[in-house]
Amino acid sequence: MREMLAKIKQDAMAKILADGADLDQIRIQYLGKKGELTAVLRGMGALSAEERPLIGQLANEVRATIEEAIKQRASAKAAEELDKKLAAERIDVTMPGAAPRMGHTHPLTLVQHDMEDIFLGMGFTIAEGPEVEYDYYNFQALNIPENHPARDTQDTFYITEKVLLRSQTSPVQVHVMESQRPPIRIISPGRVYRSDAVDATHSPLFHQLEGLVVDKGITMADLKGVLAAFAKTCFGPETRIRFRPHHFPFTEPSAEVDVSCFACGGKGCRLCKGEGWIEILGAGMVHPNVLRNCNIDPEEYSGFAFGFGIERIAMLKYHIDDMRLLYENDVRFLSQF
Ligand code: PHE
């Protein structure tokens, strides 16, 4: 029996150390319930009483030796595999990376930010208002009478009789004057909606940038100064501005404001359609009724307001001749900015 145990030990050890050893298989073969060592132990009944404990001890030693050897080989194998894996998956951190394709700011947003920067530089702050608006803020508080054509469902998207998608950023003026006392100096860029069919110069959704200043002693000279400074920064230092009388219900007097054509300097070219001037916004002195609607005394305070179409400025600045390009988001177009 001693020889059998010695042989088992020798065979098992040889297998454990062999290349590609299947350790689970070896464990079953030698130590399992039906394994070779177990078979030897079963035969111990035939031994004498003196021999039995000695052989028993020897058998336990053999088992322990084989178990230990399997354990050690297993951990050696695991370490080897880890080393292999680490070597195979090694990363050269000094290799140049693959740069991800970066997006960039949309031309409309770019122009909006440029415009904001100019006004922030003049001491304006940015105010926001809701795009879903009450009729009161979009029209009534702005002195736009019940029967005014702009109120027509043909022009404005109504949600209910009293709730609509704002058709201009001017309602933000009212929100600001309701919640702040003068001095007020805000701009408000944002989306506006009108029931227009899409073409090269129209879209049912577009963007405006509103401006409002209210304080003691504000005059049209202040309005002119601010817009002249804006025009020079936005379109170039040679740019001049021109006021043409106009009508807006919420300003009095009102004007449409042109800039001298920055392409031809005013001589007349394709961009200004031979005019030498390009219209860029509407503006005027805040109507006393609007101030009163917001509990600001027109005897004490006065103000001016203006409103740009941001698309229009973007199209002029970048010589874009079709507004739809700004919304189609064709990368061949967008990547030029
Ligand atoms: N809200 C006007 C428009 O949409 C523009 C404007 C704003 C005019 C402020 C005067 C003062 O046409």
With respect to residue 41, please indicate whether it lies within any of the assigned structural domains.
yes
Which atom of ligand 1 lies nearest, measured to the CA of 170? 1
239 token code pair: 């740019």
Task: Determine contact, residues 119/186, Cβ cutoff 8 Å.
Answer: no
pLDDT, mean of residues 30-54: 83
CATH number for the domain harbouring residue 182: 3.30.930.10
The closest residue, in CA terms, to atom 10 on ligand 1 is: 283
Position 198 pLDDT exceeds 80: yes
The closest residue, in CA terms, to atom 12 on ligand 1 is: 282
Same domain, 203 and 290: yes
Q: What is the pLDDT of residues 133-171, one digit of tens each?
A: 999 999 999 999 888 887 877 789 999 999 999 999 999
The mean pLDDT of the chain is 92
With respect to residue 96, please indicate whether it lies within any of the assigned structural domains.
no
* Tally of CB atoms within 10 A around 124: 19
Same domain, 168 and 35: no
pLDDT, mean of residues 38-65: 84
Q: How far is the CA of 23 from the centre of ligand 1 (A)?
A: 85
10 token code pair: 């020798």
Q: What is the pLDDT of residues 120-132, one digit of tens each?
A: 999 999 999 999 9
Give the CA-trace dihedral at 70, 71, 73, 79, to 10 degrees. 160
Q: What is the pLDDT of residues 71-95, one digit of tens each?
A: 888 888 889 889 999 989 998 889 8
Q: Which of 162, 161, 139, 136 is nearest to 151 (CA)?
A: 139
DSSP three-state, residue 215: strand
Same domain, 16 and 58: yes
| Residue 251: its H or E element | strand 251-260
Same domain, 67 and 214: no
Q: How far is the CA of 42 from the centre of ligand 1 (A)?
A: 104
Q: Which of 321, 319, 211 is nearest to 262 (CA)?
A: 319
How many residues in the chain? 337
The closest residue, in CA terms, to atom 4 on ligand 1 is: 168
DSSP three-state, residue 308: strand
Same domain, 173 and 294: yes
Ligand 1 close to Cβ of residue 138 (< 6 A):
no
Look up residue 234 and give its amino acid.
C
**27 band by pLDDT with thresholds 50, 70 and 90:** confident
For β-strands 241-248 and 132-134, DSSP reports them as unpaired
With respect to residue 269, please indicate whether it lies within any of the assigned structural domains.
yes
Same domain, 198 and 251: yes
With respect to residue 99, please indicate whether it lies within any of the assigned structural domains.
no
pLDDT, mean of residues 183-188: 98
Q: Which of 276, 222, 280, 216 is nearest to 246 (CA)?
A: 280
Same domain, 58 and 126: no
CA distances from 42 to 30, 52, 201 (A): 14, 11, 99
Distance, in Å, from the CA atom of 136 to the CA atom of 170, rounded to the nearest integer, reads 12
With respect to residue 101, please indicate whether it lies within any of the assigned structural domains.
no
Distance, in Å, from the CA atom of 281 to the CA atom of 186, rounded to the nearest integer, reads 16
Pocket test for ligand 1, best of 207, 250, 290, 291 (most atoms within 8 A of CB): 250
Same domain, 82 and 196: no
Tell me how many domains the chain contains.
2
With respect to residue 290, please indicate whether it lies within any of the assigned structural domains.
yes
Q: How far is the CA of 300 from the centre of ligand 1 (A)?
A: 24
Same domain, 213 and 264: yes
With respect to residue 55, please indicate whether it lies within any of the assigned structural domains.
yes
Ligand 1 close to Cβ of residue 306 (< 6 A):
yes
Instruction: Select from 60, 88, 116 the last residue of a domain.
Output: 88
pLDDT, mean of residues 248-253: 96
Q: What is the pLDDT of residues 289-325, one digit of tens each?
A: 999 999 999 999 999 999 999 999 999 999 999 999 9
54 token code pair: 């000695």
Same domain, 311 and 229: yes
Same domain, 12 and 73: yes
Provide φ and ψ at 76, rounded to 5°. Answer: -65, -40
Q: How far is the CA of 115 from the centre of ligand 1 (A)?
A: 16
- Whether a cis peptide bond, with omega within 30° of 0, leads into 145 is no
Pocket test for ligand 1, best of 208, 285, 312 (most atoms within 8 A of CB): 208
Instruction: Select from 88, 123, 140 the last residue of a domain.
Output: 88
With respect to residue 33, please indicate whether it lies within any of the assigned structural domains.
yes
Task: Determine contact, residues 212/220, Cβ cutoff 8 Å.
Answer: no
Task: Burial-class residue 251 by CB neighbours within 10 Å (0-12, 13-18, 19+).
Answer: buried
Domain hosting residue 118, numbered range = 108-334
Distance, in Å, from the CA atom of 202 to the CA atom of 200, rounded to the nearest integer, reads 6
Which atom of ligand 1 lies nearest, measured to the CA of 169? 1
Same domain, 206 and 285: yes
